[in-house]
């Protein structure tokens, strides 16, 4: 597939997503970045997955001061383009709809982003911890930019099994 | 019938990445499965934000001990995507060559262990004997049997010599013969057919829904290979020259997963040979100065599937965000689709078929009728071997499997 054909993919994505798009750019032929409002985000992922044949590479969360930025990296293998769907989830509510109910591939990564950044994915089918232990103190999100190296009262809140270790 | 809960995990000393499985059983049949991970969370993403751009490849190289060039490869592709640069052809060829050598030795490692799991210890010994030659060739080429440090942002880190390439050609020749022998053994043996066919089927729909990767998705008929769908380095040129082809199979069972790995090893051997024969002259890298503000994605087709890295820069000398996704992260949840309806004796095989780091089968506690029995890894292995022997008996063959 030539570069010109790859640049046509942006039009295809524009047509499929329609009014949901806040902005779209294609800095390189094989990379598209689409920005979506947080309320329409699960719908946009559904369209990219079901209508455009997008497969999920992974999702990235980033702490950007007033919000947490989510990027779902969706590969379109037939178009040979990586389509990155982005949104900003506003602090302090940090609530967004889940994609895991119709797209199981997002299940685990949403659990990871939720425990590391404190984003709540509403109606998630399995909202347990993924990487952190089950007794992890609430309100501690280690990948946040403002997370202190030694949070106050963190060790007292750990489950008993760690307390014994400490003594 | 009462539902039985079968916990498997959480540690296995054989390979890395501990996992914990809970199998819900009805008699001997698996009804549901739950996977827990997180026993070995090392915080690479956080650590990477404290290192400079040139130090990160050495950190991410230590994520996996087997596919150790895949992570730095994906990382440098992400940085080069951010910079929007093209690197010299010789650098591209060296990096792709190391990537393919790694695929060969990783698939042979899996083949050996899979043979061990079903009780064919000869396959194990032979596969690892030929893997040894590939590792020696890697040492000659780039200086180490593993952890090659072959990639840096802007090109390859070291050049390869003509003598090393000659040596590699010899290793590839003997491996081609061996791989063809394995292919014959897999397709001829009636016991392997009975044991692996129609076991742990992952349908095409499930593979797409779970976004399964690499040798887990391609046996299910999903054509998704990053080397083809987003060609980088020397892969685009080699595809144009028809040096190799993407293997896609139909059934999605354990047999197809095994056959695909053997066929892919063969394609990798052809590709390595093409890369060495067409190795261009010239520089191996270009100078990369300051990293500007921006973001980049890089992905490399590792032996187990696509490795994905995302970096974002704010113009300083460190990444402000570095996301790493290893293929097993997408492949593990497919157990929810492939395990239900299977026998316990097959579970060891199915959970091994995606080639995770086998860490699951160390301790098995069976909770049934208020009696606690604990099976360890050997017992589970025994269950698997016994099933193979049963099939041999039914086929009227003389069993020569070692008693465990």
Q: Find the domain containing A124 and state its range.
A: 3-131
Cβ separation B325–A55 shorter than 8 A: no
Tally of domains within chain A? 1
Concatenating the DSSP letter of every residue in B160-196 gives: --HHHHHHHHHHHHHHHHHHHHHHHHHHH-HHHHHHH
Q: What is the CATH number of the domain that holds A126?
A: 3.30.460.80
Mutant choice from A28, A69, A75, A146 vs B, greatest count of B C-beta within 10 A: A75
pTM, two decimal places: 0.89
CA–CA dist B159, B148 (Å, integer): 12
What's the ipTM? 0.93
Q: How high is the pLDDT of residue B40? A: 75
pLDDT at B21: 80
Q: Is residue A147 part of a domain?
A: no
Domain ranges of chain B: 3-40+332-394, 44-329
Nearest-angstrom CA–CA distance, A83 and A64: 21
Among chain A residues, CA nearest to B325: A58
Residue A158 in any domain: the answer is: no
Please give the residue that has the higher pLDDT: either B34 or B393. Answer: B34
Considering chain B, what is the average pLDDT of its residues? 84
User: Distance between CA atoms of B373 and B365, rounded to whole angstroms?
Assistant: 6
> What's the rounded Cα separation, in Å, for the pair B48 and A105?
25
- The answer to whether the CB atoms of B333 and A103 lie below 8 A apart is no
* CATH number listed for the domain at residues B3-40+332-394: 3.30.390
CATH classification code of B44-329 = 1.10.645.10
- Domain assignment present for residue A95? The answer is yes
* Nearest chain A alpha carbon to B78: A31
Task: Give yes or no for a cis peptide into B360 (omega within 30° of 0).
Answer: no
DSSP secondary structure letter of residue B343 = B
Site from A46, A63, A82 to mutate, B interface, most B CB atoms within 10 angstroms: A82
Q: Look at residue A144 and tell me if it is in a domain.
A: no
- Give domain status of residue A117, yes or no: yes
Lowest-pLDDT range of A2-11, B129-138, B169-178:
A2-11
Residue A148 is assigned to a structural domain of this protein = no
Nearest CB to A77: which of B224, B320, B332?
B224
> Residue A35 pairs with which residues in a beta bridge?
A23, A86
List the single residue in B with minimal CA-CA distance to A73. B297
The answer to whether residue A75 neighbours chain B at the CB level (below 8 Å) is yes
Q: Which of A77, A111, A114, A146 is the best substitution to test chain B (most B C-beta atoms within 10 A)?
A: A77
B370 has a pLDDT exceeding 50:
no
Q: What is the DSSP string of B273-338?
A: HHHHHT---S-SB-------SEEEEEEEEETTEEEEEEEEE-SSSSEEEEEEE-HHHHHGGGHHHH
Out of A57, A75, A131, the one facing B37 most closely (by C-beta) is: A131
B17 pLDDT exceeds 70? no
* Average pLDDT for runs of 10 along chain A of length 167: 87 93 93 95 95 93 93 92 95 93 93 93 92 85 86 79 62
> Does any domain span residue A12?
yes
Cβ distance B229 to A71 less than 8 Å, yes or no, reads no
Give the per-residue pLDDT at B361: 27
d(CA B326, CA B64) in angstroms, rounded, equals: 9
- Please state, as a whole number, how many other Cβ atoms lie within 10 Å of the Cβ of residue B50: 11
Q: Is the pLDDT of residue B402 over 70?
A: no
Please confirm whether the linkage preceding B10 is cis (ω < 30° from 0). Answer: yes
Lowest mean pLDDT among B17-31, B41-55, B159-173: B17-31
Look at B175 and B383; give whichever has higher pLDDT. Answer: B175
Residue predicted with more confidence, B367 or A144? A144
- pLDDT-derived band at B200 (thresholds 50, 70, 90) equals confident
């Amino acid at each position: 597939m030539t570069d010109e054909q790859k640049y046509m993919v942006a039009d295809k994505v524009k047509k499929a997503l329609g009014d949901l798009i806040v902005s779209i750019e294609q800095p390189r032929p094989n990379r598209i970045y689409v920005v979506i409002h947080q309320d329409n985000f699960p719908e946009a992922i559904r369209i990219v997955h079901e209508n455009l044949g997008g497969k999920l590479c992974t999702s990235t969360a980033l702490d950007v001061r007033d919000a947490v930025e989510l990027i779902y990296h969706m590969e379109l293998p037939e178009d040979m383009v990586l389509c990155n769907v982005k949104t900003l989830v506003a602090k302090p509510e940090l609530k967004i709809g889940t994609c895991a109910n119709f797209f199981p591939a997002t299940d685990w990564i949403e659990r990871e982003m939720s425990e590391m950044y404190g984003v709540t994915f509403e109606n998630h089918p399995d909202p347990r911890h993924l990487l952190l232990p089950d007794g992890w103190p609430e309100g501690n999100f280690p990948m946040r930019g403002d997370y202190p190296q030694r949070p106050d009262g963190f060790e007292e809140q750990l489950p008993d099994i760690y307390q014994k270790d400490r003594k | 019938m009462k539902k039985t809960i079968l916990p498997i995990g959480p540690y296995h000393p054989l390979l890395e990445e501990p996992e914990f499985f809970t199998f819900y059983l009805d008699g001997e049949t698996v009804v549901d499965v739950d996977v827990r991970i997180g026993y070995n969370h090392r915080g690479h993403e956080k650590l990477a934000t404290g290192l400079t751009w040139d130090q990160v490849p050495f950190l991410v190289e230590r994520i996996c001990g087997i596919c150790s060039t895949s992570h730095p490869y994906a990382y440098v592709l992400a940085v080069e995507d951010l910079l929007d640069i093209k690197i010299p052809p010789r650098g591209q060829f060296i990096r792709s060559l190391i990537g393919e050598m790694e695929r060969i030795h990783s698939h042979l490692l899996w083949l050996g262990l899979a043979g061990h799991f079903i009780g064919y210890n000869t396959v194990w010994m032979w596969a690892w004997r030929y893997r040894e030659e590939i590792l020696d060739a890697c040492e000659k080429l780039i200086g180490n049997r593993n952890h090659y440090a072959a990639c840096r942002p802007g090109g390859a880190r070291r050049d390869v010599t003509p003598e090393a390439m000659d040596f590699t050609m010899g290793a590839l020749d003997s491996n081609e013969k061996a791989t063809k022998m394995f292919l014959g053994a897999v397709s001829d043996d009636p016991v392997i057919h009975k044991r692996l066919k129609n076991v742990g089927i992952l349908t095409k729909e499930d593979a797409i829904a779970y976004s399964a990767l690499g040798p887990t998705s391609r046996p299910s008929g999903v054509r998704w290979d990053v080397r083809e769908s987003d060609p980088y380095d020397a892969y685009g040129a080699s595809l144009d020259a028809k040096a190799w082809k993407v293997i896609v199979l139909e059934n999605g069972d354990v047999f197809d997963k095994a056959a695909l790995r053997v066929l892919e090893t063969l394609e990798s051997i052809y590709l390595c040979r093409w890369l060495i024969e067409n190795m261009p002259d010239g520089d191996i890298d270009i100078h990369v100065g300051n990293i500007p503000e921006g973001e980049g994605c890089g992905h490399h087709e590792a032996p187990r599937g696509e490795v994905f890295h995302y970096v974002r820069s704010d113009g300083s000398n460190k990444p402000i965000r570095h996301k790493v996704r290893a293929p097993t992260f997408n492949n593990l949840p497919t157990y929810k689709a492939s395990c239900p309806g299977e026998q316990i004796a097959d579970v060891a095989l199915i959970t091994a078929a995606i080639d995770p780091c086998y860490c699951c089968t160390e301790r098995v506690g069976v909770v049934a009728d208020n009696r606690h029995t604990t099976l360890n890894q050997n017992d589970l292995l025994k269950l698997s071997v016994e099933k193979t022997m049963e099939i041999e008996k039914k086929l009227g063959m003389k069993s020569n499997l070692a008693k465990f």
